[in-house]
Structure formats: structure tokens, C-alpha cells
Structure 1
């Protein structure tokens, strides 16, 4: 049944507002990390686990939650995800130790997995075919405006009301989303046929992905290589097992037999792997090396997200009219050029040069994101919207986790387990440069993946 325009707009508003939660809190927390480090007296290696624990749980639960949503209804899973997110985000704000903060962040990630495993599927089900690119562009623009607001507002909140206020504001936004979802989203959108939940496949998936992500973050330790090898073996076993299942938690056949879906998913994974650590490393650089306050560092970092927001809205509309594959490939190529520029940042680089590079990367990301999402979601049949939505979200979160893993690995190699301070600014500069070089190389592979993800 076609949706009324008013109800479609209401659903779009709710989904966009829900999409703003994670980017706002994540980018705001990057500016607050030095304060959290100081309050809990934690070392450089442990600091990275505050954002990584959240991304890890969201990544490993997103696919199972999407499958559960197909069985019991996307609306129901979306709403319960918001409730969990609100609860554990508030608890994160009152955490009394770094261990409890990391645990609460992990648990709030489960709520996020339920939200983001269903949101794009709800949007695709409610929006007419000819308007999908525009809707996805609006949704992407909301994400990037939230990313833009995060560093600026996060810097102000941290400086005047403490880092805890970031969690309280995020929980308040989620509460408004919950109220909106209860009134705006009427349909439940679930599969008509009876299905059984793939428990064994879900466990194998969670174990394999966790081992890979955690192993990557503790490289070059021997345990890191062991966990990586174990994770790969478990994922191979998972793939073999899923091929034999009638109701698999992860539809391997769709992933491997649909070339467009496979390569657009891979390009999204590489894109986030190459870009997510930028704001994390630059926030440390601007505060520890250049001596800026959280507010001033946020004002510099905000330009990338503003450019991403403006351009992604335009590229989303454009992808309804011209080659989305060309746009996504062009965007990835521009990001590569910007990353190369970041590799040459020094301790006295002019701030205008840094801002120009962030504008360039933001432009490239905006050109890439909406068209790539349009390709990915439009490459599958309607019954696979939930799976495609969760896969896109998982690729994003796994990519972000791997990106943080690259940053944490370079920090661990050059700084180790000592506390961050201005005294280690030389080591921080080297670790930042290593991170950006690795990300630049990754981006080249992303250019190739985007170029071959061409819908017929």
C-alpha cells in the first residue's frame, strides 16, 4: 500500500533524527577524550577502546538484529533499540570508572545495532522508488550535519559542563526519536513466512568478527595475529555453514552472487576504514601538539562534516539522474588526494592548509556516500532490504573499527601504554603520519571497488 506524503515525510524525519545520534555523540566524544583520559587516568592504548567498544558491539549485532526484525517486525526492533540506547547512554554519563564506561558503551551499541539494522530498510520500504536517492541524500546530509555539530557542540559541552553532558544530550535526542517513532511509524514490515532464528550462525558471526576486530586493534602483539587468524577461520566456517541454511542470519548467496551489492559493500567498508580515524587523530594533534582548546579544535574539524553534509544531499539527488557508480568512484578518488595531503602535516603547518584538506576530504566523502548507498540498497529485491540495510551498517561500523584499529596500532607502536601529554608530541606526529599513509593505500583499493560496482 503506498504511503501518504505526510506519513512518508514523518517517517523520513524520524529516521533522519535517529541517524544523527551516533555521529553526533561519536564526533563529540573525540574532542572529549583528553578530558576522559584525565578524569580516569588512563593510558593511550586504553583510550581508544572508549569509541571502539561501541562500534564493535554495533557491528557484531547489526546483522542478527536485522534478521530478527524480518521475523518480528522492523518497527518493533527499531523502538526497542531506542529504549536500550537511551538506558545505556544515560548510564555511560554516570560511569564511575573507565571499565564501566566501556561496558556501558558496548551495551548501548546493541541498541544502536537494533536501530541501524532496521532504519534504512524502513526508509526504503516507505519511500517511492523515484525518490529514494533524494531520501538517502537527505538522510546522509543529516548524518554529516550531526558530525559537523558534534565537534563544535561537544567542545562547548565538554569545556563548560563536562564530558558527561554529551551522553545526556544524546539520550535526550533519542527520547524524542522514540516518541516520534511511536506516532509516525505505523507499519511493522515483517516477513509473512514462518522462520527460525539462526542461533549457531549468529554466534559464529559474532565470534569471528569480534576476533578479527579485537585482534587488529592489538597488533603487532602476538595475540593480535593469533586472534586475526582465528577470526578468519571462524568466518570461513560461518560462510560454509550459512550456505547450507534455509533461513541464514547472513544470506551468503546474495552477497557473493550479486556483484553490484558485493562491490558497493566492499567500497563502503574501505571508505570508512580509510577515513574514520582522521577526526580521532587530528583531535589529538590539535590539542596535544598545537595546544588548542576542545572548542577551537572542534571549529577546525567541523569544516569536513559541513562539506560532507552539503555535498551528500546534492549527490543523493544527482544519483537518481546519472551514474551513481561514477559519482562514488569520483568521491573516493578525491578522498585519496586529501589523505595524501594529510600525510605531510607537520608541527607548524598552517591551519588554513589543514582546513583546506578537510574541505577536500569532506567534498569527496559527500560525493561518494549517498550514491554508493543508493547503489547498495537498489541492488537487492524488496525482501532483502533488511539484510542490505544491516550489511551497509555493518560495513560502516567494521570499517570504523578497523580505522580505529589502525590508529590504535600506530599509537601502541610509538607511544605505548603511557598517558597522552604534550611531552609525546613527536611520537604522536609519527603515529598520525603512519595512520594516514595506511589509510591512503586503502583508499586506492576503494577506488577500484567503486569503479566495478556498476548496476546494469
Structure 2
């Protein structure tokens, strides 16, 4: 009976976990058409993705604390409802800037799902099965990433980009109904549910200023000062949290728990190096190679299928043999895949692009579930809610940083960032895409270090 209950809850969390990666990967296929409709450049298009990630990152930790305070089920359920509604409202965006605003609102609702899902899984599964459950949840994320480009490319090509959000709203309704019917426990932990408004403001300000400044540092002269202000605010935030009796984010655990700290650092570097690959390949395949969104979607299917197939296996292996070697090897494999991808673009070889995506998929599967298992296994059950929020926040910070790096690189030339996407210089765009891949390769190599030393 206990196994059945655990598996029911796992299925519910998996459905919700499917929503946001599907939304992101499917939307990547429609970005060139969105750019043409709203006369937006590649830098503005990156903000359609980045705004969602930024607001999600800002609200994930506060929503995790709210889940501790009022119950993880309540926050999870409200998140599924509001995510569904926000997906419907996006249809009415009249300009690219309104689309960014509405994507930001959608990011807040997604934070409610991110901040509670992993904690719920960790609470209902015993340690000996937790790695497998984490692997299953990671697998469905990759299934969302896998089918997103194919379904999104099809919907965008046949019915327009707005149809993607109709499909997402339909999935959100299914998740909401199943949560109401099958998830009964609230999992309240009021001692860990302290909401500090000063901490929240400092946290939000540091993220907004730091990441906006980095994204626009090439285009706007004032951006470097905004970025600097973000760094200073981050230092103030860390100092405040270290002194607070009940911090929003217990920064002391990063100093006292090396496994927790280095696993999260490795995770941020990993997502910084991998998240924007789909965005870059969407631009490459459609703007440079000339494929339509439907065909381009099939290319991106390859990586996600590999990740979805291997993640449960890697999660189970981490239960047996530990996470350090698996995750560290995964980072190295991803670096090799990015090098192959860079070479493929030099040769205009779609066969090599597919090979590179397979290699990256293997590497990411080796890293993600074992790394999450290491993080959750490094803290006691009372801190599962906090650890879940940190996993989601670090992932989102890595993803936002990935897009911020891309936005900054695309803005190196006004032809790539300052004009409508239809007028982009293809040679400049290709150079910037390849430059981005080199930066991401370096992130992977650096990420091997914290991944290896986490248990030493």
C-alpha cells in the first residue's frame, strides 16, 4: 500500500515536472517566428526565455519556505492552477515586451512547482529507493525536453506559436485534477517556513541586477554598473543570511556541508553549460541551415531521448556506487559533445550535430540524477524542503546564467542583436553561436573539479 501511494505521488510530480521543460523546449522552436511577428532581434528573443527563468529563480526559495509554512501540497496545487491560467493569458500578448512580462508571471507559478516537487518525492520514498525516484523524475523532465521540440515545432509550423501555450494549458489542467484527487498529505514544517522580507528583497535585487547587467553589458554602457551593483548586493545578501537567526537560505550549510556545497556548484556550472544549447541550435538549424521549425524539432529530439532513457539507470547506479565518479565523468562527456557540435557547425554536418547531441545526452544523464541524489542524501529529512528549493534555484541560476552569457555574446555585433531577426548576418550569428559553445565547454571542464572533490 505504501509503495502504491509513493508511486501515485511520483506520477503527479512527474506530470508537473514535465510542464516547464516542455514549455521551454517547445518554445525554442517558435522563437524565429516570434521574432518575425514582433520584429525582435536575437537578444530580445533570449529575454523571452530569460525572463521566465529569472522570476522563477527569484521566487523558488520563497515558495519553498511558503510550502514549509502552509504545506507543500497547497503550494504545489496552487502552482499547477496558476501555471495553467498564465499559459492561456500569454495568447493575448500584443508586443514582445508584453510577452516577456507574461512569461515572467508564468515563471512565478513555475517556481511553486519547482520548489516543492523534489522535496515531496524525497519525503515519500525511503533512502534506498530515492535515487531511482529522482531518476524517474529527471527522466520525465527529459521526456518533456524530448517531445517539446517535435510537438512545439509541429504546432508552431501548422497553427502558430500561440497553440503551444494552449497545449501546455491542457497538460496543466490534467496535473491540477490529479493533484486534487490523489495527493492528500500537506507536509507542513513550520519551523523551516520562516519568511524574511529583507532577505527576499536582497535576493531578488542581486539576481535582477547581476543577471540583467551581464546580459546587456555589451549593448548598454550602464550595464557594467548594474552588474557591479548586483555583485555588491549579492555580498550583502550572503552577509545578511549568515547573521540571520532564521535565514531565507541557510548559507551556513554551504560552509559546513562540503558535499552539499560542491554538488550545487557543479550543478550550476552544468546547467550554465547546457541549457542554452537548445536555443542556439534552434537559431542555427532555422536561421543558418534553413530548416523549418517542424524539421528542426526532430533534431533536438535526439538528446532528450538519450537523457530520458538513461537517467533512471544512472540514478540507480548512484544508489549503489555513489555520485562523484558518475557525475564528474558526465561533465567531461558533455564537454566532448560540445566540441563535436562546434566541429559539426564548421563542416555544416547534420550527422555530426546528431552525434554531438547523443554525446551531450549521455553526459547529462550521467550527471543530473546522481548529483541530485548526492544533494538530497547530504542533508537530514527535516531539510528536504530547503534542499529541494536549493536544487531548483541552483538549476535556474545556471539556466539564467546560460541565457545571459548567450545574450551577451549575441550582442557583440549589432547585426546579431540590434536588428530584427530576418535581417541577421548569418556569418556573425554562426560565429557567436560557436563562441558560446566554447565558453560552455570551459564551464564543463571547470565543473569537473567540484564534482570530484565533493566527498574528499
Q: Do the two structures share a fold, i.e. TM-score over 0.5? A: yes
2: distance between equivalents of 1:89 and 1:29? 12
1:255-404 paired onto structure 2 within 5 Å: 255-346=254-345, 348-404=347-403
Alpha-carbon offset, residue 421 of structure 1: 3.1
Structure-to-structure mapping, 1:15-414, within 5 angstroms: 15-193=13-191, 196-220=194-218, 221-346=220-345, 348-414=347-413
Residue 93 of structure 1: CA displacement?
2.2
- Does the CA contact (< 8 Å) of 1:15 and 1:139 recur in 2? yes
Q: Find the counterpart in structure 2 of residue 427 from structure 1.
A: 428
Structure 1 residues 32 and 203: alpha-carbon distance in aligned structure 2, compared to 1, 3 A threshold: same
- Aligned residues of 2:53 and 2:399 also touching (Cα < 8 A): yes
CA contact (8 A) 2:340 2:352 kept: no
Q: Quickly say closer, same or farther: Cα 1:345–1:189, change in 2 above 3 A.
A: same
Shift of 1:345: 3.3
C-alpha contact (below 8 Å) 2:65/2:193 kept by paired residues: no
CA distance in 1, matches of 2:125, 2:192: 26
Cα distance, 1:348 vs. partner?
Answer: 4.7
Shift in alpha-carbon separation, 1:195–1:287, aligned structure 2, 3 A: closer
Pairwise CA distance, 1:72? 1.2
Q: For the Cα contact (< 8 Å) 1:157–1:166, is it kept in 2?
A: yes
- 1:347 offset after TM fit, Å? 5.8
Are the equivalent residues in 1 in contact too, given 2:411–2:418 (CA < 8 A)? yes
Contact 1:195 1:247 in 2 (8 A): no
Aligned residues: 453
Quote the offset at 1:298 in angstroms. Answer: 0.8
- Distance in 1 (alpha carbons) for counterparts of 2:2 and 2:40: 52
Aligned-partner SS, 1:454: coil
Deviations 1:256-289 (A, max 9, x none): 2110000000111000100111111111011111
Other structure's SS at 2:425 match: helix
User: Aligned Cα RMSD in Å?
Assistant: 1.4
Deviation larger for 285-294 or 342-351: 342-351
Cα distance change of structure 1 residues 452 and 111 upon mapping to structure 2, 3 Å threshold: same
Q: For residues 6-21 of structure 1, what are the structure 2 equivalents within 5 Å?
A: 6-21=4-19
Residues 195/409 of structure 1: CA separation in 2 closer, same or farther (3 Å cut): closer
Change (3 A) 1:67 1:194: closer
1:423, distance to aligned residue in structure 2 (A): 5.4
Q: From the superposition, tell whether residues 109 and 195 of structure 1 become closer, same or farther in structure 2 (CA, over 3 Å).
A: closer
User: Is 2:439 the counterpart of 1:438?
Assistant: yes
Are residues 393 and 240 of structure 1, via their aligned partners in 2, closer, same or farther at CA, if it must alter by over 3 Å?
same
- The CA deviation at 1:325 is 1.0
Alpha-carbon distance between aligned partners in 1 of 2:291 and 2:423, rounded to the nearest angstrom: 11
Q: Quick one: distance in 2 between partners of 1:185 and 1:217?
A: 40
CA-to-aligned-CA distance 1:135-174 (integer Å, 9 cap, x gap): 0011111110110000011110001111111111111111
Note closer, same or farther for the CA distance 1:194–1:297 as it changes in structure 2 (3 Å cut). Answer: closer
Contact 2:206 2:231 in 1 (8 A): yes
Q: SS at 1:247's partner residue?
A: coil
What is the Cα deviation at residue 407 of structure 1? 1.1
Distance 1:33 1:128, change over 3 A: same
Aligned residues of 2:71 and 2:188 also touching (Cα < 8 A): yes
**For 1:394-424, what per-residue CA distance to the aligned partner results, in whole angstroms no more than 9, with x for missing partners?**
1111111111111111111122311223751
Instruction: Kindly state the Cα deviation for residue 195 of structure 1 after the two structures are TM-superposed.
Output: 5.8
C-alpha separation in 2, matches of 1:193 and 1:426: 56
CA distance in 2, matches of 1:397, 1:83: 21
Do the aligned partners of residues 349 and 125 (structure 1) sit closer, same or farther apart at CA in structure 2, a change above 3 Å counting? same
Contact 2:311 2:369 (8 Å CA) reproduced: yes
Q: Distance in 1 between matches of 2:346 and 2:250?
A: 48
Unaligned runs of 5+ in 2: none
- Cα distance, 1:79 vs structure 2: 1.1
| SS of residue in 2 equivalent to 1:103 | helix
Secondary structure of the residue aligned to 2:343 is coil
Q: Distance in 2 between matches of 1:74 and 1:9?
A: 17
Regions of 4+ moved over 6 Å = none
